[in-house]
Structure 1
Amino acid sequence: MISPTPRPGGGPSLHELAGTGRLPDHQVMDRPTLDWIARHRPADPGVRARLPHRPLLLVPNVSWFARTQTATSIHGVRHGARVAVLVQLLAPSHGLTPGRGLALAAAAACHDCRRLNDRDDPGHGRRAADWLTQHTASLQATFRTAATTEAITAVALHDVPHNAFARREERAYRQHQVAVDLLKAADALDRYRLPLARWWPDLNHLRLQVPAWTTVLAHDLVVGSEHAHLYGATDTQALERALQAVMPE
């Protein structure tokens, strides 16, 4: 049997550290924290969307991240891939064509790739947008789609509160409002990975409406993928297993 990845130094869990305000700069999922997350699954509304196709799994490359510690953290590869899945699930009901939805999902997979730590890190959205602009060939080769201006704008603004937009950011938001709010919503839905419930999604804070079933699906994607990874699966294997479990073919 494969043993789960141990916590560095065998110290307190993320859940324990968060409760005492001692979270480190780089935060890696651990078994006790994931067990706590799993025990607090949101209520299931019992309704699922009928989707013609399962979303594509878009897994960002570790080398795209500013720091290896971030790529393997709670803002890393698996977070980006889950947000890309959620973008694809939300996009059709908000008027995005398949091409626009896929471009936004590809950019979403990389929305935290320029993070330097797992704290607030102001400006990481703008840095990720600049990286996307400079690495269109990497996205095209890996995901077979390029990040559009709309998608890059969404990444640039995903970490900026609406009430903190500068004048230029407000203009960009008005031009690409749906894409920005879709990425913000998908990013928020993946907050079930965070070690305190008060940081989890609150649909009342979103600028666009999302189906009630997305909270359960998002929670299960977190638990399934993080569980598989703790027990030795690669990032891609872990995500594939979780996606298959929540959306069987």
Structure 2
Amino acid sequence: MNLREQLLNSPKPPHQFHDADSIEWLSLNRPEFLPKIYKLKQSFVEIVERKKPWERCNNDWFTNKLIRDGIHGFRHVCRVAIYSISLALQARPEISEQEIEALIFAALLHDCRRVNDNADFRHGVRAKEWLGKNNHILPKKLQPLYKAIHFAIAVHNDQYDQIIRKVNYQKFKFFVDILKTADALDRYRFPREDWWLKNEFVVLIPNQQNMAFAYDLVLGCERLFLQTKDNQGSVERAWKKLNQDNYANR
């Protein structure tokens, strides 16, 4: 049974991995409203090239190899980090270097304490608690933003009707909204169109360019990983291919 068939049936497997059939389904079901040609902002490209999220993600952060290599693992969190940069520049063009760094680490760590690829309630809280004991992971220059990173990670898998009632939401709203939308953009990795991003579930609405880029990055990453089983290389090569295509289309 391929991943699409597994996700259409119950119970769903605790650990989920792409396969050739499911990736082929994704390639054939790209939403028609997504632009096929789009331009990546130069500022976005420069930041991703400089920060290289795929080099900053650590295999040891994940609870086990099944999570690391699965649908919520290394490739997913790196893509979420990349989307976070784009969304942040869209929402706050004057964003600081520290804020960019904080968003990258929130993305890279948000699913690190998952124990399965299903709902896994409270995995955000577990990740926040784990990070609290491992703050050495974060650069010291981010210390003023530790609380923002922790809060965004803790609530990222909660619904907004719960999040808005939390005391610190307004204080850390920017970080929460970026992480929530970036995480939702990567739902294109699921070979079920009814699970893809829906605007009613996020506060920060991505533009169609961000959505098209996310779809293409997912497809490129997952194809490469199926061939190579190289998490870091799959993300890096998929990013560079999209960047080259974007440059050629200018």
TM-score, with length taken from structure 2: 0.86
What secondary structure does 1:173 align onto? coil
Q: Please say which of residues 185-194 and 157-166 is displaced more in the overlay.
A: 157-166
**2:134 matches 1:135:** yes
CA deviation map 1:209-243 (0-9, x unaligned): 32211111001111111111111151111001111
Map of 1:57 onto structure 2: 52
Superposition deviation, residue 148 in structure 1:
2.4
Q: Distance in 1 between matches of 2:229 and 2:118?
A: 26
- Maintained 8 Å contact 2:156/2:176: yes
**C-alpha displacement at 1:51, in angstroms?**
2.6
Query: In the TM superposition, what are the counterparts of 1:170-181 in structure 2 within 5 Å?
Result: 170-181=166-177
Higher-helix-fraction structure: 2
Alpha-carbon distance in structure 1 between the residues aligned to 2:147 and 2:9:
41
User: Does 2:158 match 1:160?
Assistant: yes
Give the letter aligned to residue 92 of structure 1.
Answer: L
CA drift of 1:172 comes to 1.5
Greater mean deviation of Cα atoms: 185-194 or 51-60: 51-60
Q: Is the 8 A contact 1:158 1:180 kept in 2?
A: yes
Q: Secondary structure at the match of 2:72?
A: coil
Superposed CA offset, 1:197-218 (max 9, x none): 1001123432013221111100
Alignment deviations for residues 131-182 of structure 1 (CA, whole Å, 9 cap, x no partner):
22222223439xx967622122111110111112485xx1111110111011
Could you tell me which amino acid in structure 2 is paired with residue 36 of structure 1?
W
Unaligned runs of 5+ in 1: 1-11
Aligned residue for 2:113, secondary structure, equals coil
Moved more, 41-50 or 127-136: 41-50
| Equivalent position of 2:39 in the other structure | 48
Query: Which residue does the alignment assign to 1:217?
Result: 213
Bigger drift between 45-54 and 129-138 goes to 45-54
AA paired with 2:14?
A: D
Unaligned 5+ segments in structure 2 are none
How far, CA to CA, are the matches of 2:116 and 2:78 in structure 1? Answer: 18
Q: Report if aligned partners of 1:106, 1:145 keep a CA contact under 8 Å in 2.
A: no
Equivalence for 1:27: 16
Structure 2 counterpart of 1:210, which letter?
P
Structure-1 separation of matches of 2:216 and 2:85: 17
Aligned residues: 234
Q: Percent identity among equivalent residues?
A: 31
| Structure 2 counterpart of 1:111 | 110
SS in 1 for 2:219: helix
Q: CA deviation at 1:246?
A: 1.7
After TM superposition, the structure 1 = structure 2 runs for residues 56-95 of structure 1, keeping only pairs within 5 Å, are: 56-59=51-54, 60-95=57-92
Q: Which amino acid aligns with 1:246?
A: L
CA distance in 2 between partners of 1:140 and 1:153 (Å): 17
Report the TM-score, using the length of structure 1 for normalisation. Answer: 0.87
Report if aligned partners of 1:57, 1:84 keep a CA contact under 8 Å in 2: no
Q: Which amino acid aligns with 2:152?
A: A
Displacement of 1:49: 4.2
Contact 1:14–1:33 at 8 Å: present in 2 too? yes
Residues 83/208 of structure 1: CA separation in 2 closer, same or farther (3 Å cut) = same
Counterparts of 1:92 and 1:207, CA distance in 2: 16
Paired residue secondary structure (1:109): helix
Question: 1:97 Cα shift?
Answer: 1.9
Matches within 5 A, 1:231-242: 231-242=227-238
Q: CA deviation at 1:54?
A: 4.4
Q: Secondary structure at the match of 1:75?
A: coil
